[in-house]
Amino acid sequence: MKAKVEEMMASVIIRNPGEPEFHQAVREVVESLTPFLEKNPKYKEAKIIERMVEPERVIMFRVPWVDDKGEIQINRGYRIQMNSAIGPYKGGIRLHPSVNLSILKFLAFEQVLKNSLTTLPMGGAKGGSDFDPKGKSDNEVMRFCQTFMSELFRHIGPDLDVPAGDIGTGGREIGFMFGQYKKLKNEFTGVLTGKGLSWGGSLIRPEATGYGCVYFVQEMLKTRGESLKGKVCAVSGSGNVAQYTVEKLIQLGAKVVTLSDSDGFIYDEGGIDQKELKCVLDLKNVRRGRIKECAKEFKCKYFEKQRPWQVKCDIAFPSATQNEISGDDAKALVKNGCIAVGEGANMPTTPEGIGVFQKAKILYAPGKASNAGGVATSGLEMSQNSMRLSWTREEVDKRLHDIMIAIHDNCVKYGKEGSYIDYVKGANIAGFVKVADAMLAHGVV
Which residues lie near ligand NDP (CB under 6 A)? 92, 165-168, 170, 209, 237-241, 261-263, 319-321, 344-346, 371, 374
345 binds, among ligand 2IT, ligand NDP, none (CB under 5 to 8 A by kind): ligand NDP
Q: Which is nearer to ligand 2IT, 114 or 248 (CB)?
A: 114
Q: How far apart are alpha carbons 370 and 375 in whole angstroms?
A: 11
- DSSP bridge partners of 234: 258, 316
193 binds, among ligand NDP, ligand 2IT, none (CB under 5 to 8 A by kind): ligand 2IT
Catalytic (active site) residue 126: yes
What phi, psi does 201 have (nearest 5°)?
Answer: -75, 165
Residue 274 near residue 253 (C-beta atoms within 8 A): no
User: In the bound complex, what is the minimum distance in angstroms from residue 89's beta carbon to ligand 2IT?
Assistant: 10
Query: Which candidate in 105, 126, 255, 434 is catalytic?
Result: 126
Q: Which is nearer to ligand NDP, 288 or 361 (CB)?
A: 288
Is residue 288 classed as helix, strand or coil in its secondary structure?
coil
Q: Which is nearer to ligand NDP, 55 or 168 (CB)?
A: 168
240 binds, among ligand 2IT, ligand NDP, none (CB under 5 to 8 A by kind): ligand NDP
What phi, psi does 157 have (nearest 5°)?
Answer: 175, 165
Count Cβ atoms below 10 Å from residue 54 Cβ, excluding itself.
13
90 binds, among ligand NDP, ligand 2IT, none (CB under 5 to 8 A by kind): ligand 2IT
239 binds, among ligand NDP, ligand 2IT, none (CB under 5 to 8 A by kind): ligand NDP
Closest CA to 356 of 336, 376, 371, 382: 336
Helix (H) or strand (E) holding 61: strand 57-66
Residue nearest to ligand NDP (CB): 239
Q: How far apart are alpha carbons 344 and 215 in whole angstroms?
A: 11
User: In the bound complex, what is the minimum distance in angstroms from residue 262's beta carbon to ligand NDP?
Assistant: 3
Q: Which is nearer to ligand 2IT, 34 or 410 (CB)?
A: 410
User: Annotated binding site for substrate: which residue ranges?
Assistant: 90, 111, 114, 165, 378
User: In the bound complex, what is the minimum distance in angstroms from residue 328's beta carbon to ligand NDP?
Assistant: 17
Q: How far apart are alpha carbons 77 and 186 in whole angstroms?
A: 23
320 binds, among ligand NDP, ligand 2IT, none (CB under 5 to 8 A by kind): ligand NDP
Q: How far apart are alpha carbons 407 and 216 in whole angstroms?
A: 8
Q: Determine the residue type at 263.
A: D
What phi, psi does 260 have (nearest 5°)?
Answer: -140, 170
- Pairing mode, strands 340-342 and 315-317: parallel
Residue 92 near residue 169 (C-beta atoms within 8 A): yes
Q: How far apart are alpha carbons 276 and 282 in whole angstroms?
A: 10
Q: How far apart are alpha carbons 48 and 72 in whole angstroms?
A: 45
Residue 274 near residue 233 (C-beta atoms within 8 A): no
Q: How far apart are alpha carbons 39 and 49 in whole angstroms?
A: 14
Cα end-to-end distance, the chain, whole Å: 28
User: In the bound complex, what is the minimum distance in angstroms from residue 209's beta carbon to ligand 2IT?
Assistant: 7
Q: How far apart are alpha carbons 223 and 442 in whole angstroms?
A: 38
User: In the bound complex, what is the minimum distance in angstroms from residue 397's beta carbon to ligand NDP?
Assistant: 16
User: Annotated binding site for NAD(+): which residue ranges?
Assistant: 209, 240
User: In the bound complex, what is the minimum distance in angstroms from residue 237's beta carbon to ligand NDP?
Assistant: 4
Q: Which is nearer to ligand 2IT, 94 or 425 (CB)?
A: 94
Radius of gyration of the chain (CA): 21
262 binds, among ligand NDP, ligand 2IT, none (CB under 5 to 8 A by kind): ligand NDP
Residue nearest to ligand 2IT (CB): 92
Q: Which is nearer to ligand NDP, 34 or 321 (CB)?
A: 321
User: In the bound complex, what is the minimum distance in angstroms from residue 406's beta carbon to ligand NDP?
Assistant: 17
Closest CA to 318 of 272, 280, 275, 370: 370
User: Annotated binding site: which residue ranges?
Assistant: 90, 111, 114, 165, 209, 240, 378
Binding residues for ligand 2IT, per CB under 6 A? Answer: 90-92, 111, 114, 164-166, 193, 346, 374-375, 378
Q: Which is nearer to ligand NDP, 83 or 111 (CB)?
A: 111
Dihedral sign, Cα of residue 214, residue 402, residue 371, residue 338: positive
Residue 79 near residue 161 (C-beta atoms within 8 A): yes
Catalytic positions, written as ranges: 126
